């Protein structure tokens, strides 16, 4: 029962990690710029309410602060921003579901698996294996 779900979450984490690595690689390979110091690397966030993107150096995001996995929006002052994830259905960049720091793992799994993409309306992070049933 738990196996496929767990794989889904791991796959999701991998997507996020690979995405971050690619972003870092792109930033580092710009060549003419001075070396990228810690905290100045641009980090793109998506607003879970408006789906707008905002890019700030990572240190600026840290300064703004966050609640759970939601960062504070410099525009609205609300905790609605998060790093974008990719919808498995439509391939668009979408916000992750809101997760509190103290949510138990099985609850997180449930939230992630039942999360609907705000762009296409389909289950965004459902396992391809579970989808075929």
Q: How far is the CB of 8 from Zn ion (least distance, A)?
A: 16
Q: What span, in angstroms and rounded, lies between the C-alpha atoms of 108 and 56? A: 27
Nearer to Zn ion, 47 or 89 (CB): 89
Q: How far is the CB of 123 from Zn ion (least distance, A)?
A: 9
Eight-class DSSP state of 19: H
Chain residues in the site for Zn ion (CB under 5 A): 87, 89-90, 117, 119-120
To which residue do tokens 């960062």 refer?
71
Which pairs from 98-102 meet CB under 8 Å and 24+ separation? 98/48, 98/68, 98/69, 98/70, 99/68, 99/69, 100/67, 100/68, 101/68
Nearer to Zn ion, 46 or 61 (CB): 46
**Burial class of residue 94 in the structure, from the number of CB atoms within 10 Å of its CB (0-12 exposed, 13-18 middle, 19+ buried):** buried
Nearer to Zn ion, 81 or 85 (CB): 85
Nearer to Zn ion, 75 or 122 (CB): 122
Q: How far is the CB of 15 from Zn ion (least distance, A)?
A: 14
Q: What span, in angstroms and rounded, lies between the C-alpha atoms of 105 and 80? A: 22
Q: How far is the CB of 124 from Zn ion (least distance, A)?
A: 5
């Amino acid at each position: 029962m738990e196996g496929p779900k767990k794989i889904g979450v791991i796959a999701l984490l991998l997507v996020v990690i690979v995405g971050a690595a690619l972003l870092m690689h792109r930033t580092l390979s710009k060549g003419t710029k001075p070396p990228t110091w810690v905290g100045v690397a641009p980090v793109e966030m998506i607003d879970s309410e408006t789906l707008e993107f905002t890019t700030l150096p990572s240190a600026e995001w840290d300064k703004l602060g966050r609640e759970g996995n939601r960062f504070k929006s410099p525009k609205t002052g609300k905790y609605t921003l998060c790093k974008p994830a990719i919808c498995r259905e439509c391939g668009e960049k979408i916000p992750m579901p809101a997760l509190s720091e103290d949510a138990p793992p099985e609850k997180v799994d449930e939230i992630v698996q039942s999360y609907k993409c705000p762009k296409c309306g389909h289950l965004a992070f459902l396992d391809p294996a579970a989808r075929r049933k």
